[in-house]
Chain A
């Protein structure tokens, strides 16, 4: 009995330690992992899944929102990415991961308004219950995951920022996402597969 108790106690300590570690180190996908599909509500009321896009070669899954200054700074560039790559088989799928109870400017209604104002040409999905973004390991907005459709599933090929200058699109030196998609579509190795950027933490 005693042994069992001690064992249980050790297990509890172990779990506590594991938990502490997890809260510091973000979980989520690494390059080469297979990304989960989802079924999330689009601003037009329809449910959208990656599997709906039968002819797609891949996806630019972008966690973004209405309220973050960085996300706003990148809106036009996200629209441009969809214009450029949707026809090449890599559409943008935008997902708002924020909990509107915490950030009212990111409500479903506000998403519809913002999409209309800006003329979004891509699905803008609401992560109801904030269940999808943790699986991807998105930590901030905007946060891009480039997926390539393969026989085994949607494989993660790039994670990070859109480019290297949020302030001024004309001063960009490295278009990380465009370079990654171009390399992927050309069957070449992607040179830079992960990048970091300051962003707004996801509100849960």
Chain B
């Protein structure tokens, strides 16, 4: 019988993480983002283009918001497949001081031809920025010490904590992890 009890307890613990946070916080203003200082621009590309140093401030903002930073590219199939989960969570949680930054690792030759049309076609609501920095071995460990460089990869952070995931995330996984920050 103890087995049964233990199972119920564990099941309860496992399930209880999945509840989306319903607590409302005050209107968010500072979430509506975040231009780091060092952005380049390009005439036909309506996203800021950063090297890693230019973008670093987006990865360590110390305010009341929680940031979901997703590293992706249009050529990365699992990235494209998980994007709707991020957009859905962002739509549901943005009034909860949650911001979504979509860091595109598309190559320069793809920005105008693929990235811009993709973002328009899918009407992405997350803040798209371009990271153009070939010195990957230098900046990858600065995002997370354990990141091997695979994408999709996602950083969730706020002023008091950080989590990093080198994997695809389902809607449920994303919410479960996000809940640890906004509860």
Contacts and interface: CB of A to CB of B under 8 A. Distances in A.
Given A161-B136, A165-B134, A195-B137, A200 B149 contact: no
Contacts of B1: 2
Given A24-B166, A198-B136, A200-B75, A140 B2 contact: no
B140 A198 contact: yes
Contacts of A23: 167
B76 A200 contact: yes
Interface string A64-75: 000011000100
A140 B76 CA distance: 11
B3 A9 contact: yes
Nearest to A171: B134
Given A13-B10, A24-B166, A167-B107, A140 B134 contact: no
A180 to B, nearest CB: 13
Interface residues of B, number: 32
B165 interface: yes
Interface in A5-57: 5-6, 9, 13, 23-26
B130 to A, nearest CB: 13
A6 B3 contact: yes
Contacts, number: 79
A34 B110 CA distance: 40
Given A25-B146, A203-B77, A5 B134 contact: no
B76 A201 contact: yes
Contacts of B149: 139-140, 196-199
A140 B148 contact: yes
A166 interface: yes
B105 interface: yes
Given A6-B6, A9-B6, A9-B7, A164 B134 contact: yes
A166 B134 contact: yes
A168 B170 CA distance: 35
A123 interface: no
A24 B76 contact: no
A24 B136 contact: no
B55 interface: no
B117 interface: no
Contacts of B152: 201
Nearest to A168: B134
A139 B150 CA distance: 7
Contacts of A167: 107-108, 134
A189 B99 CA distance: 46
Contacts of B71: 198
Given A24-B166, A197-B149, A199-B149, A164 B137 contact: yes
A198 B146 CA distance: 13
Nearest to A172: B134
A196 B149 CA distance: 6
A160 interface: yes
Interface string A121-151: 0000000000000000001100000000000
17 contacts: A2-B2, A9-B7, A23-B167, A24-B165, A25-B146, A26-B166, A103-B77, A161-B136, A161-B137, A167-B107, A171-B134, A196-B148, A197-B137, A198-B136, A198-B149, A200-B76, A201-B76
Interface of A: 2, 5-6, 9, 13, 23-26, 68-69, 73, 103, 139-140, 160-161, 164-168, 171, 174, 176, 195-201, 203
Given A161-B136, A198-B150, 13 more contacts: A6-B6, A9-B7, A24-B165, A24-B167, A164-B138, A166-B134, A174-B137, A195-B137, A196-B137, A196-B147, A198-B136, A201-B150, A201-B151
